[in-house]
Amino acid sequence: MELVKAKTALLSVYDKTGLIELARALRKHGIKIYASGGTCQALRDAKIEVTEAQELTKTPEAFHGRMKTLSFPLMSGILFRREAPEDLQTVEALGITPVDIVAVNFYPFPTTPVAELPVDLIDIGGPCLLRAAAKNFASTVSLVSPDDYLDFAKELDRHQGATSLEFRKDQARKTYQATCEYDQRIFSAFTAEETIPLRYGENPHQEARITKDHSSMGIPHALQLQGKEMSYNNYLDADQAWMLMSELVLHVEGKQECSALVVKHGNPCGIAITSTLKEALGLAIEGDPISAFGGIVALSKTVNEETAQLLTEKFYEIILAPDFDGEALKILQAKKNLRLLKIPLYSAEDFKKMGPKHLSLVGGELSCQRDLGADHEFTLVGGKSWPAKFHDQRLFMFGSLAVKAIKSNAICLVGKKDKALVLAGMGAGNPNRVLSLQEAARQAKNSSLSIPMGELVLFSDAFFPFKDSIELAHENGISWIVEPGGSIKDQEVIAAANSLSLGLIFTGRRHFNH
Protein backbone atom coordinates (compact mmCIF):
# COMPACT_ATOMS: atom_id res chain seq x y z
CA MET A 1 0.00 0.00 0.00
CA GLU A 2 1.76 3.18 -1.21
CA LEU A 3 0.71 6.15 0.93
CA VAL A 4 0.88 9.69 -0.47
CA LYS A 5 0.60 12.68 1.85
CA ALA A 6 -1.73 15.36 0.47
CA LYS A 7 -0.85 19.04 0.83
CA THR A 8 -3.14 20.84 -1.61
CA ALA A 9 -6.66 20.40 -2.96
CA LEU A 10 -8.66 22.04 -5.74
CA LEU A 11 -12.43 22.26 -5.21
CA SER A 12 -14.76 23.31 -8.05
CA VAL A 13 -18.27 21.92 -7.67
CA TYR A 14 -21.68 22.70 -9.12
CA ASP A 15 -23.43 20.40 -6.65
CA LYS A 16 -22.36 21.74 -3.27
CA THR A 17 -23.79 18.83 -1.29
CA GLY A 18 -21.24 17.90 1.41
CA LEU A 19 -18.85 20.66 0.33
CA ILE A 20 -18.44 22.21 3.77
CA GLU A 21 -17.86 18.84 5.45
CA LEU A 22 -15.27 17.96 2.77
CA ALA A 23 -13.44 21.24 3.26
CA ARG A 24 -13.36 20.79 7.03
CA ALA A 25 -11.93 17.29 6.61
CA LEU A 26 -9.19 18.75 4.41
CA ARG A 27 -8.36 21.58 6.79
CA LYS A 28 -8.31 19.13 9.72
CA HIS A 29 -5.21 17.62 8.13
CA GLY A 30 -3.62 20.92 7.18
CA ILE A 31 -4.41 20.57 3.45
CA LYS A 32 -4.51 23.92 1.67
CA ILE A 33 -7.71 24.52 -0.32
CA TYR A 34 -7.99 26.30 -3.66
CA ALA A 35 -11.46 26.87 -5.08
CA SER A 36 -13.11 28.51 -8.06
CA GLY A 37 -15.98 31.00 -8.27
CA GLY A 38 -19.10 29.95 -6.41
CA THR A 39 -17.28 27.17 -4.57
CA CYS A 40 -14.82 29.66 -3.16
CA GLN A 41 -17.61 31.97 -2.03
CA ALA A 42 -19.51 29.11 -0.35
CA LEU A 43 -16.41 28.19 1.64
CA ARG A 44 -15.80 31.79 2.67
CA ASP A 45 -19.40 32.10 3.80
CA ALA A 46 -18.75 29.07 6.02
CA LYS A 47 -15.64 30.76 7.46
CA ILE A 48 -13.31 28.14 5.94
CA GLU A 49 -9.85 29.27 4.87
CA VAL A 50 -9.64 29.13 1.07
CA THR A 51 -7.52 30.56 -1.75
CA GLU A 52 -8.94 31.48 -5.15
CA ALA A 53 -8.12 29.03 -7.94
CA GLN A 54 -6.65 31.90 -9.94
CA GLU A 55 -3.55 31.50 -7.78
CA LEU A 56 -3.10 28.14 -9.53
CA THR A 57 -4.30 29.04 -13.01
CA LYS A 58 -2.39 32.35 -13.12
CA THR A 59 -5.27 33.73 -15.22
CA PRO A 60 -8.65 35.33 -14.40
CA GLU A 61 -12.01 33.81 -15.27
CA ALA A 62 -13.19 34.91 -18.75
CA PHE A 63 -15.87 34.59 -21.41
CA HIS A 64 -18.80 34.55 -19.01
CA GLY A 65 -17.36 31.64 -17.09
CA ARG A 66 -16.37 29.49 -20.07
CA MET A 67 -12.75 29.76 -18.97
CA LYS A 68 -12.23 29.22 -15.26
CA THR A 69 -9.81 26.48 -14.32
CA LEU A 70 -8.18 25.30 -17.55
CA SER A 71 -4.58 26.43 -17.75
CA PHE A 72 -1.08 25.07 -18.27
CA PRO A 73 0.06 25.77 -14.68
CA LEU A 74 -2.96 24.08 -13.09
CA MET A 75 -3.00 21.01 -15.34
CA SER A 76 0.76 20.68 -14.85
CA GLY A 77 0.27 20.77 -11.08
CA ILE A 78 -2.08 17.79 -11.36
CA LEU A 79 -0.29 15.74 -14.00
CA PHE A 80 3.41 15.93 -13.19
CA ARG A 81 5.02 12.71 -11.98
CA ARG A 82 6.00 13.05 -8.34
CA GLU A 83 8.52 10.22 -8.65
CA ALA A 84 10.30 11.65 -11.73
CA PRO A 85 13.29 13.93 -10.88
CA GLU A 86 13.05 15.77 -14.22
CA ASP A 87 9.37 16.55 -13.59
CA LEU A 88 10.17 17.86 -10.13
CA GLN A 89 12.87 20.11 -11.59
CA THR A 90 10.44 21.47 -14.20
CA VAL A 91 7.76 22.17 -11.60
CA GLU A 92 10.26 24.13 -9.50
CA ALA A 93 11.66 26.01 -12.48
CA LEU A 94 8.20 27.07 -13.70
CA GLY A 95 6.87 27.91 -10.25
CA ILE A 96 4.04 25.37 -10.51
CA THR A 97 2.04 24.48 -7.39
CA PRO A 98 1.39 20.71 -6.99
CA VAL A 99 -2.30 19.75 -6.70
CA ASP A 100 -2.83 16.49 -4.82
CA ILE A 101 -6.64 16.35 -4.61
CA VAL A 102 -9.20 17.35 -7.23
CA ALA A 103 -12.86 17.47 -6.18
CA VAL A 104 -15.09 18.44 -9.09
CA ASN A 105 -18.61 17.69 -10.27
CA PHE A 106 -20.24 18.69 -13.53
CA TYR A 107 -22.83 21.10 -14.80
CA PRO A 108 -26.19 19.24 -14.79
CA PHE A 109 -26.49 18.33 -18.45
CA PRO A 110 -30.02 16.94 -19.06
CA THR A 111 -30.42 13.17 -18.83
CA THR A 112 -33.39 13.27 -21.20
CA PRO A 113 -33.64 14.90 -24.65
CA VAL A 114 -34.72 18.54 -24.77
CA ALA A 115 -35.94 20.70 -27.62
CA GLU A 116 -32.86 22.97 -27.68
CA LEU A 117 -29.31 21.74 -27.17
CA PRO A 118 -28.07 23.34 -23.88
CA VAL A 119 -24.48 23.99 -24.98
CA ASP A 120 -23.73 26.16 -21.96
CA LEU A 121 -24.29 23.13 -19.73
CA ILE A 122 -21.52 21.18 -21.48
CA ASP A 123 -18.82 21.13 -18.83
CA ILE A 124 -15.30 21.38 -20.29
CA GLY A 125 -13.01 22.19 -17.40
CA GLY A 126 -14.50 19.79 -14.87
CA PRO A 127 -14.02 16.59 -16.88
CA CYS A 128 -10.54 17.70 -17.96
CA LEU A 129 -9.41 18.27 -14.37
CA LEU A 130 -10.86 15.00 -13.15
CA ARG A 131 -9.46 12.96 -16.01
CA ALA A 132 -6.03 14.45 -15.37
CA ALA A 133 -6.21 13.59 -11.66
CA ALA A 134 -7.48 10.08 -12.43
CA LYS A 135 -4.70 9.51 -14.94
CA ASN A 136 -2.16 10.44 -12.27
CA PHE A 137 -3.78 8.23 -9.60
CA ALA A 138 -0.31 7.12 -8.55
CA SER A 139 -0.10 10.44 -6.70
CA THR A 140 -3.41 12.29 -7.03
CA VAL A 141 -6.93 11.79 -5.71
CA SER A 142 -9.98 12.48 -7.91
CA LEU A 143 -13.36 13.01 -6.24
CA VAL A 144 -16.30 13.12 -8.67
CA SER A 145 -19.28 12.63 -6.36
CA PRO A 146 -20.39 13.92 -2.96
CA ASP A 147 -21.19 10.29 -2.18
CA ASP A 148 -17.43 9.68 -1.86
CA TYR A 149 -16.60 12.55 0.52
CA LEU A 150 -17.25 10.62 3.73
CA ASP A 151 -15.08 7.67 2.68
CA PHE A 152 -12.38 10.13 1.66
CA ALA A 153 -12.50 11.84 5.05
CA LYS A 154 -12.17 8.46 6.75
CA GLU A 155 -9.23 7.62 4.47
CA LEU A 156 -7.45 10.82 5.54
CA ASP A 157 -8.10 10.07 9.20
CA ARG A 158 -6.93 6.46 8.79
CA HIS A 159 -3.58 7.52 7.29
CA GLN A 160 -3.01 10.88 9.02
CA GLY A 161 -3.68 13.02 5.95
CA ALA A 162 -2.41 10.51 3.36
CA THR A 163 -4.24 8.24 0.89
CA SER A 164 -3.52 4.71 -0.23
CA LEU A 165 -2.87 3.64 -3.81
CA GLU A 166 -5.89 1.32 -3.60
CA PHE A 167 -8.18 4.23 -2.67
CA ARG A 168 -6.79 6.52 -5.38
CA LYS A 169 -7.14 3.84 -8.05
CA ASP A 170 -10.74 3.13 -7.06
CA GLN A 171 -11.52 6.84 -7.27
CA ALA A 172 -9.93 6.96 -10.72
CA ARG A 173 -12.23 4.16 -11.84
CA LYS A 174 -15.28 6.04 -10.56
CA THR A 175 -14.06 9.17 -12.29
CA TYR A 176 -13.75 7.57 -15.71
CA GLN A 177 -17.16 5.95 -15.29
CA ALA A 178 -18.68 9.34 -14.45
CA THR A 179 -16.98 11.16 -17.35
CA CYS A 180 -18.01 8.37 -19.72
CA GLU A 181 -21.66 8.63 -18.64
CA TYR A 182 -21.53 12.43 -18.88
CA ASP A 183 -20.09 12.31 -22.39
CA GLN A 184 -22.74 9.75 -23.36
CA ARG A 185 -25.48 12.16 -22.29
CA ILE A 186 -23.96 14.87 -24.45
CA PHE A 187 -23.48 12.49 -27.37
CA SER A 188 -27.11 11.41 -27.10
CA ALA A 189 -28.23 15.03 -27.21
CA PHE A 190 -26.23 15.66 -30.38
CA THR A 191 -27.36 12.48 -32.10
CA ALA A 192 -31.01 12.94 -31.19
CA GLU A 193 -32.39 14.44 -34.37
CA GLU A 194 -35.69 15.60 -33.00
CA THR A 195 -37.72 15.20 -29.84
CA ILE A 196 -41.47 15.42 -30.29
CA PRO A 197 -43.94 15.62 -27.40
CA LEU A 198 -46.83 13.19 -27.85
CA ARG A 199 -50.43 13.88 -26.84
CA TYR A 200 -49.99 11.50 -23.94
CA GLY A 201 -48.26 8.26 -23.07
CA GLU A 202 -49.45 4.70 -22.72
CA ASN A 203 -52.43 6.17 -20.84
CA PRO A 204 -53.89 9.71 -20.84
CA HIS A 205 -52.45 10.60 -17.42
CA GLN A 206 -48.87 9.82 -18.57
CA GLU A 207 -46.58 12.19 -20.45
CA ALA A 208 -44.60 10.89 -23.43
CA ARG A 209 -42.38 11.92 -26.30
CA ILE A 210 -40.53 10.31 -29.17
CA THR A 211 -36.94 11.04 -30.14
CA LYS A 212 -35.89 10.42 -33.71
CA ASP A 213 -32.34 9.27 -34.42
CA HIS A 214 -30.19 10.33 -37.38
CA SER A 215 -31.09 7.32 -39.50
CA SER A 216 -33.86 7.46 -42.09
CA MET A 217 -35.19 4.04 -41.10
CA GLY A 218 -38.18 3.03 -39.04
CA ILE A 219 -41.63 4.24 -38.06
CA PRO A 220 -40.39 7.57 -36.58
CA HIS A 221 -39.15 8.48 -40.08
CA ALA A 222 -42.18 7.24 -42.01
CA LEU A 223 -43.99 9.79 -44.16
CA GLN A 224 -47.43 10.46 -42.70
CA LEU A 225 -49.74 11.30 -45.58
CA GLN A 226 -52.84 12.08 -43.52
CA GLY A 227 -54.56 11.52 -40.21
CA LYS A 228 -54.26 12.43 -36.56
CA GLU A 229 -51.00 12.82 -34.69
CA MET A 230 -49.32 9.50 -33.89
CA SER A 231 -49.72 8.36 -30.29
CA TYR A 232 -47.32 6.47 -28.02
CA ASN A 233 -49.23 3.22 -28.51
CA ASN A 234 -49.47 3.85 -32.26
CA TYR A 235 -45.68 3.97 -32.50
CA LEU A 236 -45.28 0.72 -30.55
CA ASP A 237 -47.83 -1.20 -32.61
CA ALA A 238 -46.69 0.24 -35.93
CA ASP A 239 -43.08 -0.71 -35.17
CA GLN A 240 -44.15 -4.27 -34.34
CA ALA A 241 -46.30 -4.50 -37.48
CA TRP A 242 -43.63 -3.28 -39.89
CA MET A 243 -40.91 -5.49 -38.43
CA LEU A 244 -43.12 -8.53 -38.94
CA MET A 245 -44.26 -7.44 -42.40
CA SER A 246 -40.68 -6.88 -43.57
CA GLU A 247 -39.60 -10.32 -42.32
CA LEU A 248 -42.57 -11.99 -44.02
CA VAL A 249 -41.63 -10.37 -47.33
CA LEU A 250 -37.96 -11.21 -46.91
CA HIS A 251 -38.40 -14.86 -45.89
CA VAL A 252 -41.80 -16.10 -47.11
CA GLU A 253 -43.66 -13.92 -49.60
CA GLY A 254 -43.23 -14.94 -53.26
CA LYS A 255 -42.54 -12.47 -56.07
CA GLN A 256 -46.14 -12.59 -57.29
CA GLU A 257 -47.66 -12.53 -53.79
CA CYS A 258 -48.91 -9.89 -51.38
CA SER A 259 -49.01 -9.86 -47.59
CA ALA A 260 -51.32 -8.22 -45.08
CA LEU A 261 -51.45 -8.26 -41.31
CA VAL A 262 -53.29 -6.60 -38.44
CA VAL A 263 -51.66 -5.76 -35.08
CA LYS A 264 -53.58 -4.91 -31.93
CA HIS A 265 -51.93 -4.10 -28.60
CA GLY A 266 -48.59 -5.47 -29.72
CA ASN A 267 -49.88 -8.77 -31.10
CA PRO A 268 -50.64 -9.81 -34.67
CA CYS A 269 -54.29 -10.90 -34.72
CA GLY A 270 -54.44 -11.58 -38.45
CA ILE A 271 -51.83 -12.46 -41.10
CA ALA A 272 -52.20 -13.64 -44.68
CA ILE A 273 -50.06 -14.08 -47.79
CA THR A 274 -51.75 -14.68 -51.15
CA SER A 275 -51.94 -13.50 -54.76
CA THR A 276 -53.67 -10.11 -54.39
CA LEU A 277 -53.46 -7.37 -51.79
CA LYS A 278 -57.23 -7.13 -51.32
CA GLU A 279 -57.52 -10.89 -50.80
CA ALA A 280 -54.61 -10.90 -48.34
CA LEU A 281 -56.22 -8.08 -46.35
CA GLY A 282 -59.59 -9.84 -46.35
CA LEU A 283 -58.06 -13.07 -45.06
CA ALA A 284 -56.04 -11.26 -42.38
CA ILE A 285 -59.23 -9.61 -41.14
CA GLU A 286 -61.17 -12.89 -41.26
CA GLY A 287 -58.64 -14.47 -38.92
CA ASP A 288 -60.04 -12.36 -36.05
CA PRO A 289 -62.46 -9.65 -37.24
CA ILE A 290 -63.36 -8.53 -33.71
CA SER A 291 -59.74 -7.84 -32.74
CA ALA A 292 -59.02 -6.24 -36.13
CA PHE A 293 -61.37 -3.37 -35.27
CA GLY A 294 -59.22 -0.41 -34.19
CA GLY A 295 -56.04 -2.23 -35.14
CA ILE A 296 -53.05 -1.30 -37.25
CA VAL A 297 -52.92 -2.68 -40.78
CA ALA A 298 -49.65 -3.35 -42.61
CA LEU A 299 -49.57 -4.13 -46.33
CA SER A 300 -46.60 -5.28 -48.40
CA LYS A 301 -47.51 -3.62 -51.72
CA THR A 302 -48.77 -0.26 -52.95
CA VAL A 303 -52.35 0.20 -51.78
CA ASN A 304 -54.71 0.24 -54.75
CA GLU A 305 -58.34 1.29 -55.18
CA GLU A 306 -59.99 -2.05 -54.36
CA THR A 307 -57.86 -2.55 -51.24
CA ALA A 308 -58.59 1.00 -50.10
CA GLN A 309 -62.30 0.35 -50.51
CA LEU A 310 -62.05 -2.66 -48.20
CA LEU A 311 -60.14 -0.57 -45.66
CA THR A 312 -63.05 1.87 -45.40
CA GLU A 313 -65.41 -0.83 -44.14
CA LYS A 314 -63.90 -0.94 -40.64
CA PHE A 315 -62.26 1.44 -38.22
CA TYR A 316 -58.45 1.22 -38.17
CA GLU A 317 -55.90 3.41 -36.44
CA ILE A 318 -53.12 3.26 -39.04
CA ILE A 319 -52.45 1.87 -42.50
CA LEU A 320 -48.78 1.10 -43.21
CA ALA A 321 -47.65 0.47 -46.78
CA PRO A 322 -44.72 1.11 -49.14
CA ASP A 323 -47.02 3.46 -51.08
CA PHE A 324 -50.62 4.44 -51.91
CA ASP A 325 -51.82 5.08 -55.44
CA GLY A 326 -53.87 8.15 -56.33
CA GLU A 327 -57.25 6.41 -56.33
CA ALA A 328 -56.56 4.79 -53.00
CA LEU A 329 -55.69 8.16 -51.45
CA LYS A 330 -58.92 9.70 -52.74
CA ILE A 331 -60.94 6.94 -51.10
CA LEU A 332 -59.05 6.96 -47.81
CA GLN A 333 -59.10 10.76 -47.50
CA ALA A 334 -62.77 10.42 -46.57
CA LYS A 335 -61.54 9.06 -43.23
CA LYS A 336 -59.71 12.19 -42.08
CA ASN A 337 -58.48 10.77 -38.80
CA LEU A 338 -57.08 7.59 -40.37
CA ARG A 339 -53.29 7.72 -40.31
CA LEU A 340 -51.60 6.70 -43.56
CA LEU A 341 -47.88 5.98 -43.24
CA LYS A 342 -45.70 5.51 -46.30
CA ILE A 343 -42.58 3.54 -45.42
CA PRO A 344 -40.19 1.28 -47.36
CA LEU A 345 -39.90 -2.35 -46.33
CA TYR A 346 -36.77 -3.20 -44.38
CA SER A 347 -34.18 -4.97 -46.48
CA ALA A 348 -31.74 -7.65 -45.37
CA GLU A 349 -29.12 -4.90 -45.06
CA ASP A 350 -31.48 -2.80 -42.96
CA PHE A 351 -31.93 -5.67 -40.51
CA LYS A 352 -28.15 -6.00 -40.20
CA LYS A 353 -27.91 -2.31 -39.26
CA MET A 354 -30.49 -2.53 -36.49
CA GLY A 355 -29.02 -2.23 -33.05
CA PRO A 356 -30.19 -4.10 -29.97
CA LYS A 357 -33.48 -3.55 -28.22
CA HIS A 358 -33.31 -1.42 -25.08
CA LEU A 359 -35.54 -1.46 -22.03
CA SER A 360 -35.30 1.08 -19.25
CA LEU A 361 -35.32 -0.23 -15.69
CA VAL A 362 -35.34 1.58 -12.38
CA GLY A 363 -31.63 1.82 -11.75
CA GLY A 364 -30.42 0.53 -15.10
CA GLU A 365 -31.09 -0.46 -18.66
CA LEU A 366 -31.33 -3.80 -20.42
CA SER A 367 -30.24 -4.33 -24.00
CA CYS A 368 -30.77 -7.43 -26.10
CA GLN A 369 -29.92 -8.49 -29.62
CA ARG A 370 -33.06 -8.60 -31.77
CA ASP A 371 -34.67 -11.95 -32.54
CA LEU A 372 -34.47 -11.77 -36.31
CA GLY A 373 -35.13 -14.25 -39.10
CA ALA A 374 -37.36 -17.26 -39.60
CA ASP A 375 -36.61 -20.75 -38.38
CA HIS A 376 -35.16 -22.96 -41.13
CA GLU A 377 -34.47 -26.27 -39.37
CA PHE A 378 -37.51 -28.44 -38.70
CA THR A 379 -36.76 -31.88 -37.29
CA LEU A 380 -39.50 -34.49 -37.05
CA VAL A 381 -39.05 -36.12 -33.61
CA GLY A 382 -42.34 -37.88 -33.00
CA GLY A 383 -45.66 -39.04 -34.36
CA LYS A 384 -46.54 -39.59 -37.97
CA SER A 385 -44.41 -39.10 -41.07
CA TRP A 386 -44.26 -35.92 -43.12
CA PRO A 387 -47.33 -35.36 -45.33
CA ALA A 388 -46.76 -34.20 -48.88
CA LYS A 389 -48.33 -30.80 -48.23
CA PHE A 390 -45.62 -29.96 -45.67
CA HIS A 391 -42.71 -30.52 -48.02
CA ASP A 392 -42.94 -26.79 -48.84
CA GLN A 393 -41.30 -25.24 -45.79
CA ARG A 394 -42.85 -21.81 -46.42
CA LEU A 395 -45.73 -22.66 -44.09
CA PHE A 396 -43.25 -23.51 -41.34
CA MET A 397 -41.27 -20.30 -41.81
CA PHE A 398 -44.55 -18.37 -41.88
CA GLY A 399 -45.56 -19.96 -38.56
CA SER A 400 -42.18 -19.33 -36.96
CA LEU A 401 -42.34 -15.63 -37.85
CA ALA A 402 -45.91 -15.34 -36.61
CA VAL A 403 -45.30 -16.98 -33.24
CA LYS A 404 -42.19 -14.95 -32.44
CA ALA A 405 -44.17 -11.75 -33.00
CA ILE A 406 -46.77 -12.77 -30.40
CA LYS A 407 -46.25 -11.96 -26.72
CA SER A 408 -45.23 -14.93 -24.56
CA ASN A 409 -46.53 -17.39 -23.70
CA ALA A 410 -47.38 -17.58 -27.40
CA ILE A 411 -49.27 -20.20 -29.37
CA CYS A 412 -50.45 -19.78 -32.95
CA LEU A 413 -52.25 -21.95 -35.46
CA VAL A 414 -51.38 -21.46 -39.12
CA GLY A 415 -52.50 -23.16 -42.28
CA LYS A 416 -53.53 -22.79 -45.90
CA LYS A 417 -56.79 -21.34 -47.17
CA ASP A 418 -56.71 -22.55 -50.76
CA LYS A 419 -53.23 -21.29 -51.74
CA ALA A 420 -53.02 -18.55 -49.12
CA LEU A 421 -50.95 -18.80 -45.96
CA VAL A 422 -53.01 -17.59 -42.99
CA LEU A 423 -52.95 -17.16 -39.23
CA ALA A 424 -56.08 -18.98 -38.03
CA GLY A 425 -55.79 -18.48 -34.28
CA MET A 426 -53.44 -17.32 -31.57
CA GLY A 427 -53.11 -17.13 -27.79
CA ALA A 428 -50.87 -14.46 -26.31
CA GLY A 429 -49.41 -13.18 -23.06
CA ASN A 430 -50.72 -15.84 -20.71
CA PRO A 431 -48.73 -16.96 -17.67
CA ASN A 432 -49.04 -20.58 -18.79
CA ARG A 433 -48.93 -22.23 -22.18
CA VAL A 434 -52.16 -24.22 -21.73
CA LEU A 435 -54.24 -21.03 -21.57
CA SER A 436 -52.64 -19.72 -24.77
CA LEU A 437 -53.31 -23.04 -26.52
CA GLN A 438 -56.95 -22.96 -25.42
CA GLU A 439 -57.35 -19.42 -26.74
CA ALA A 440 -55.71 -20.24 -30.07
CA ALA A 441 -57.85 -23.35 -30.58
CA ARG A 442 -61.09 -21.56 -29.68
CA GLN A 443 -60.28 -18.71 -32.05
CA ALA A 444 -59.40 -21.06 -34.91
CA LYS A 445 -62.61 -23.05 -34.44
CA ASN A 446 -64.74 -19.90 -34.48
CA SER A 447 -62.85 -18.22 -37.33
CA SER A 448 -64.69 -17.53 -40.57
CA LEU A 449 -61.60 -18.90 -42.32
CA SER A 450 -63.22 -22.31 -41.66
CA ILE A 451 -60.01 -24.35 -41.91
CA PRO A 452 -60.37 -27.85 -40.37
CA MET A 453 -58.31 -28.13 -37.18
CA GLY A 454 -56.50 -31.18 -38.54
CA GLU A 455 -55.12 -29.09 -41.38
CA LEU A 456 -53.57 -26.48 -39.10
CA VAL A 457 -50.06 -26.49 -37.63
CA LEU A 458 -49.58 -25.37 -34.04
CA PHE A 459 -46.51 -23.27 -33.24
CA SER A 460 -45.26 -22.62 -29.72
CA ASP A 461 -42.68 -19.93 -28.89
CA ALA A 462 -41.07 -22.20 -26.27
CA PHE A 463 -40.96 -25.89 -25.35
CA PHE A 464 -43.84 -27.77 -23.75
CA PRO A 465 -42.70 -28.67 -20.22
CA PHE A 466 -45.38 -31.34 -19.82
CA LYS A 467 -47.45 -33.65 -22.00
CA ASP A 468 -50.71 -31.88 -21.01
CA SER A 469 -50.41 -29.45 -23.92
CA ILE A 470 -49.89 -32.32 -26.36
CA GLU A 471 -53.03 -34.00 -25.05
CA LEU A 472 -54.97 -30.73 -25.22
CA ALA A 473 -53.87 -30.18 -28.81
CA HIS A 474 -55.08 -33.69 -29.69
CA GLU A 475 -58.42 -33.05 -27.97
CA ASN A 476 -58.88 -30.02 -30.21
CA GLY A 477 -58.20 -31.99 -33.37
CA ILE A 478 -54.71 -30.61 -33.97
CA SER A 479 -52.39 -33.02 -35.79
CA TRP A 480 -49.11 -31.12 -36.04
CA ILE A 481 -47.04 -29.23 -33.47
CA VAL A 482 -43.86 -27.21 -33.97
CA GLU A 483 -41.88 -26.18 -30.87
CA PRO A 484 -38.23 -25.49 -29.99
CA GLY A 485 -37.67 -28.55 -27.80
CA GLY A 486 -35.15 -28.40 -25.00
CA SER A 487 -37.27 -29.41 -22.02
CA ILE A 488 -35.96 -31.95 -19.52
CA LYS A 489 -39.22 -33.77 -20.24
CA ASP A 490 -38.85 -33.79 -24.03
CA GLN A 491 -38.95 -37.59 -24.07
CA GLU A 492 -42.24 -37.60 -22.17
CA VAL A 493 -43.68 -35.08 -24.65
CA ILE A 494 -42.41 -37.10 -27.63
CA ALA A 495 -43.90 -40.28 -26.17
CA ALA A 496 -47.27 -38.53 -25.80
CA ALA A 497 -47.11 -37.38 -29.43
CA ASN A 498 -46.29 -40.93 -30.56
CA SER A 499 -49.12 -42.46 -28.55
CA LEU A 500 -51.60 -39.97 -30.05
CA SER A 501 -50.16 -40.18 -33.61
CA LEU A 502 -49.55 -36.46 -33.48
CA GLY A 503 -46.66 -35.04 -35.56
CA LEU A 504 -44.07 -33.28 -33.39
CA ILE A 505 -41.35 -31.11 -34.87
CA PHE A 506 -38.44 -29.41 -33.07
CA THR A 507 -36.74 -26.22 -34.32
CA GLY A 508 -34.04 -25.72 -31.68
CA ARG A 509 -34.83 -21.99 -31.38
CA ARG A 510 -36.92 -20.40 -28.63
CA HIS A 511 -38.79 -17.14 -29.30
CA PHE A 512 -39.80 -15.55 -26.00
CA ASN A 513 -41.23 -12.07 -26.55
CA HIS A 514 -41.94 -9.83 -23.54
Same domain, 305 and 184: no
Same domain, 350 and 380: no
Same domain, 302 and 407: no
Full domain range(s) for residue 421: 374-506
Boundary (domain end) residue, out of 136, 171, 191:
191
106: in domain:
yes
Mean of the pLDDT values across residues 426-431? 94
Confidence of residue 123 (pLDDT cuts 50, 70, 90): confident
DSSP string, 353-417: H---EEEEETTEEEEE----S-----EEEESSPPPGGGSSTHHHHHHHHHHHTSPSS-EEEEEEE
Mean pLDDT of the chain: 91
Nearby residues of 153 by Cβ (< 8 Å), 6 or more positions away? 21, 22, 25
**What's the rounded Cα separation, in Å, for the pair 329 and 326?**
5
Q: Residue 380: what pLDDT?
A: 87
Same domain, 160 and 244: no
202: in domain:
no
- Does pLDDT of 165 surpass 70? yes
Say which CATH number the domain at 413 has: 3.40.140.20
207: in domain:
no
Confidence of residue 117 (pLDDT cuts 50, 70, 90): low
Q: What is the DSSP letter of 324?
A: B
**What's the rounded Cα separation, in Å, for the pair 233 and 201?**
7
500: in domain:
yes
- Quick: pLDDT tens for 463-473: 999 999 999 99
**What's the rounded Cα separation, in Å, for the pair 42 and 35?**
10
219: in domain:
no
Total domains in the chain come to 3
Same domain, 327 and 389: no
Q: Residue 65: what pLDDT?
A: 64
295: in domain:
yes
Say which CATH number the domain at 64 has: 3.40.50.1380
Cis preceding-peptide flag for 409 (omega within 30 of 0): yes
Same domain, 347 and 462: no
Same domain, 30 and 95: yes
**What's the rounded Cα separation, in Å, for the pair 280 and 271?**
8
Same domain, 472 and 421: yes
- Does pLDDT of 392 surpass 80? no
- Of 343, 341, 286, 342, which is closest to residue 313 (Cα–Cα)? 286
Mean of the pLDDT values across residues 190-213? 85
Q: Residue 115: what pLDDT?
A: 55
511: in domain:
no
Same domain, 239 and 298: yes
Same domain, 396 and 458: yes
CB 443 within 8 A of CB 478: no
Q: Residue 191: what pLDDT?
A: 67
Q: Residue 237: what pLDDT?
A: 96
403: in domain:
yes
DSSP string, 437-456: HHHHHHHHHH-TT---GGG-
- Of 67, 71, 79, 187, which is closest to residue 130 (Cα–Cα)? 79
Helix (H) or strand (E) holding 224: strand 223-226
Mean of the pLDDT values across residues 361-385? 89
Q: Residue 196: what pLDDT?
A: 85
Q: Residue 214: what pLDDT?
A: 75
Mean of the pLDDT values across residues 400-413? 96
Regarding beta strands 296-299 and 258-264, do their DSSP bridges make them parallel or antiparallel, or are they unpaired? antiparallel
Q: What are 297's strand-pairing partners?
A: 262, 319
Q: Residue 507: what pLDDT?
A: 93
Q: Residue 186: what pLDDT?
A: 79
Same domain, 12 and 104: yes
Mean of the pLDDT values across residues 341-346? 97
Confidence of residue 455 (pLDDT cuts 50, 70, 90): very high
Q: Residue 389: what pLDDT?
A: 60
Q: Residue 213: what pLDDT?
A: 79
Confidence of residue 68 (pLDDT cuts 50, 70, 90): low
Same domain, 229 and 165: no
Boundary (domain end) residue, out of 366, 388, 404:
366
Confidence of residue 70 (pLDDT cuts 50, 70, 90): confident
Mean of the pLDDT values across residues 185-211? 84
**What's the rounded Cα separation, in Å, for the pair 232 and 234?**
5
Nearby residues of 417 by Cβ (< 8 Å), 6 or more positions away? 272, 274, 283, 449, 451
Confidence of residue 193 (pLDDT cuts 50, 70, 90): low
Boundary (domain end) residue, out of 336, 366, 396:
366
- Does pLDDT of 114 surpass 80? no
Mean of the pLDDT values across residues 347-355? 92
Mean of the pLDDT values across residues 134-155? 94
For 262, phi then psi, to 5°, come to: -125, 130
Q: Residue 89: what pLDDT?
A: 92
Q: Residue 320: what pLDDT?
A: 98
- Quick: pLDDT tens for 224-240: 999 999 999 999 999 99
- Does pLDDT of 279 surpass 80? yes
* pTM above threshold 0.95: no
Q: Residue 216: what pLDDT?
A: 82
Give the least confident one: 44-58, 135-149, 447-461: 44-58
